Amino acid sequence: MTGQGDRDDRAVERAARATLRWSVRYTAGLDPLVAVRRQEEILSDLHEHAAWATEAGTSPRATARSLRARMLRGIPADLGWRRAQLSGREGVRWSLPRTDGLLLAAVAAIGIVQVAVGAFIAVRQVRALQIGDISFIPSSAALTIALGSVALVALALLGRGPTRPWGSATLALTGLLIFAQSVEALYYLSATALVVIIGVPWLEPAAYAIGTGVAILCLAATAQWTNSARRIPAASAASLHAGEEPR
Angle, helices 164-189 vs 96-131, to 10°: value is 30
Q: Do residues 49 and 62 lie in contact, with contact meaning Cβ atoms separated by under 8 Å?
A: no
d(CA 245, CA 241): 10
Longest Cα separation, the chain: 115
**Residues lower than pLDDT 70 in the chain:** 1-8, 88-100, 191, 193-197, 228-247
Return all residues near 116 (Cβ < 8 A) that are at least 6 apart: 148
pLDDT of residue 77: 86
How far apart (Å, rounded) are the C-alpha atoms in residues 16 and 68?
A: 8
Contacts of 167 (CB under 8 A, 6+ apart): 107, 111, 154, 155, 156, 157, 158
For residue 88, the model assigns a pLDDT of 66
Q: How far is CA 116 from CA 101, 109, 120, 151, in A?
A: 22, 10, 6, 10
Query: Which pLDDT belongs to residue 96?
Result: 52
* DSSP category for residue 246: P
- CA Rg value for the chain: 33
**pLDDT at site 188:** 81
Region for 138 from its dihedrals, namely left if φ exceeds 0, alpha if ψ lies in -120 to 50, beta otherwise: beta
pLDDT score recorded for residue 94 = 44
Q: Is 245 exposed, middle or buried (0-12, 13-18, 19+ CB in 10 A)?
A: exposed
Report pLDDT digits (tens) over 101-116: 788 899 999 999 999 9
Indicate the helix (H) or strand (E) that contains 120: helix 96-131
- Three-class SS state of 230: helix
Q: What is the pTM of this model?
A: 0.55
Q: Which residues contact 170 (CB under 8 A, 6 or more apart)?
A: 150, 151, 153, 154, 157
Q: 63-93: buried (b, 16+ CB within 10 Å) or exposed (e) per residue? A: bbebbbeebeebeeebeebbeebeeebeebe
CA 112 to CA 201: how far, in whole Å? 27
